[in-house]
């Protein structure tokens, strides 16, 4: 943004895809000012975003929906922000929604002590992270949150780190293979048809002979980029015609893999049904089972990892900005999920900037006061209500404004 603000070019179209990712509310204010400066220079600025603070400064809003995946893809509203607020779309109904401070917070059952943390800009930080509660670590971007948590907490036992890093796997990997659901589905198909389970794998005996199970034909054009075209033999399914003759409850294997997690939850049984229920719980009910993993966003990858990790009990979960890519309506579902994890006997540590998550916390750890060399210190520890009352930090000021405290 800074580079383009210094440019003499005008009448340029800029596209920003979720520019608030990783930004504290204080940083979002400053980013908004830059977006408006780009516009006022005579440019067109397109922003793909969920945060109401950014939506509020828009001259024109396009709202898609009504839901996600196959249930979305329609333009629900076009116009100004006031019109969106008055509309009956999912976004319009949640635009002014605010999470409230808890009337009471959970009591810690123990603590994880961090002593003398000095990673990156941390200045010998000593802090006790409470166990058995929902702890949110916050602060402006660059204040040292990730250094404090990722640099120290994974050293303890029973810690499950759920981040947005790419999921390892080949181009053939999918949510079905990553979660293990495909194994249960293949076994069910094999039992129902009296054949080998390997037939129902596009990586094994059931693969289409033309595309070798990829579903696409890759044409190498030498110095230029390779071109992918849908396989005409299997019509993109990746399976041979003989395998598609076998069915389970009236569906062949390709039709099952084309189901969303929510649809497949009603189709499957046993362990597969349990795993799919967790996918729905984390807001991934719209993801299809056979979708390539490399097409998932960072937020979707993180929630897929969480769906698998939720099987563990009595653990310490570390989540790094789980609201990334979430619609306003989905944030409420995330808060309910975090509560269920804690109520099941787990400890949850969330690195987050979203005020709704801060307000919902049992315990807040605020780093700052600034970024880089101006940060690296714990500037507040306690309940969200205490931080709102004190307003002693930038986070406190923005959280107080968010919950409507005067």
Residues 110-134: tens digit of each pLDDT: 999 999 999 999 999 999 999 999 9
The pLDDT value recorded for residue 282 is 85
- Indicate the SS3 state at residue 385: helix
Distance between CA atoms of 199 and 205, rounded to whole angstroms?
5
What sign results for the dihedral spanned by CA atoms 353, 359, 361, 367? Answer: positive
* pTM given for the model: 0.85
β-bridge partners, 65: 74
Whole-number Å distance between alpha carbons of 187 and 195: 10
Report residue 249 CA to chain centroid gap. 33
> DSSP string of 216-258?
EEEE--TTSPPEEEE-TTTTTS-B-HHHHT--BTTB-HHHHHT
255 contact partners, CB below 8 Å, separation of at least 6: none
Angle at CA of residue 358, ends 335 and 370, nearest 5°: 145
pLDDT per residue over 12-58, tens digit each? Answer: 999 999 899 889 999 999 999 999 999 999 999 999 999 999 999 99
In the chain, the percentage of residues whose pLDDT exceeds 90 is: 67
pLDDT tens track for 383-393: 999 999 999 99
CA 32 to chain centre: 23
DSSP code at position 215: S
Q: Using alpha carbons only, what angle is made at residue 82 by residues 79 and 84, rounded to the nearest 5 degrees?
A: 55
pLDDT band at 296 (very low <50, low <70, confident <90, very high): confident
Sketch out the chain's domains with CATH numbers.
2-94 (3.40.50.300), 110-167+297-402 (3.40.50.300), 175-294 (1.20.1580.10)
Question: Sorting pLDDT into bands at 50, 70 and 90, what band is 406?
Answer: low
Radius of gyration of the CA atoms of the chain, in A: 24
Query: What is the pLDDT of the chain when averaged over all its residues?
Result: 91
| Cα 41 from Cα 46, distance rounded (Å) | 14
pLDDT band at 211 (very low <50, low <70, confident <90, very high): very high
């Amino acid at each position: 943004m800074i580079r383009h603000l210094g440019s003499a070019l005008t009448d340029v179209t800029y596209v920003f895809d979720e520019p608030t990712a990783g930004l504290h509310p204080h940083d979002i204010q400053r980013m908004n000012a830059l977006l408006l400066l780009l516009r006022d220079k005579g440019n067109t600025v397109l922003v793909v975003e969920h945060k109401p603070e950014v939506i509020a400064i828009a001259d024109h809003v396009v709202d898609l929906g009504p839901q996600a995946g196959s249930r979305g893809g329609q333009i629900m509203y076009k116009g100004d922000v006031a019109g969106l607020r008055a509309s009956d779309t999912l976004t319009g109904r949640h635009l002014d929604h605010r999470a409230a401070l808890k009337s009471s917070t959970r009591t810690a059952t123990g603590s994880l002590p961090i002593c003398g943390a000095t990673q990156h800009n941390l200045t010998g930080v000593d802090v006790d992270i409470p166990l058995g509660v929902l702890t949110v670590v916050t602060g402006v971007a660059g204040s040292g949150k990730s250094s404090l948590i990722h640099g120290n907490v994974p050293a303890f036992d029973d810690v499950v780190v759920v981040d947005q890093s790419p999921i390892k796997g080949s181009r053939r990997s999918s949510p079905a293979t990553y979660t293990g659901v495909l194994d249960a589905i293949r076994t069910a198909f094999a039992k129902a048809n009296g054949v080998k389970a390997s037939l129902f794998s596009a990586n094994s005996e059931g693969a289409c002979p033309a595309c070798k199970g990829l579903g696409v034909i890759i044409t190498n054009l030498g110095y230029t980029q390779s071109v992918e075209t849908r396989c005409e033999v299997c019509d993109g399914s990746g399976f041979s015609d003989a395998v598609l003759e076998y069915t389970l409850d009236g569906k062949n294997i390709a039709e099952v893999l084309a189901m969303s997690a929510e649809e497949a939850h009603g189709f499957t049984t046993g362990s597969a049904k349990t795993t799919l229920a967790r996918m729905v719980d984390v807001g991934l009910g719209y993801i299809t089972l056979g979708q390539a993993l490399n097409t998932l966003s960072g937020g979707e990858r993180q929630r897929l990892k969480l769906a698998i990790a939720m099987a563990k009990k009595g653990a310490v979960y570390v989540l790094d900005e789980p609201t990334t890519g979430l619609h306003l309506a989905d944030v409420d579902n995330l808060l309910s999920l975090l509560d269920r994890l804690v109520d099941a006997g787990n400890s949850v540590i969330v690195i987050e900037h979203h005020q709704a998550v801060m307000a919902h916390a049992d315990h807040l750890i605020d780093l700052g006061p600034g970024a880089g060399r101006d940060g690296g210190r714990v500037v507040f520890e306690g309940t969200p209500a205490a931080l709102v009352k004190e307003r002693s930090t930038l986070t406190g000021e923005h959280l107080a404004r968010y919950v409507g405290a005067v």
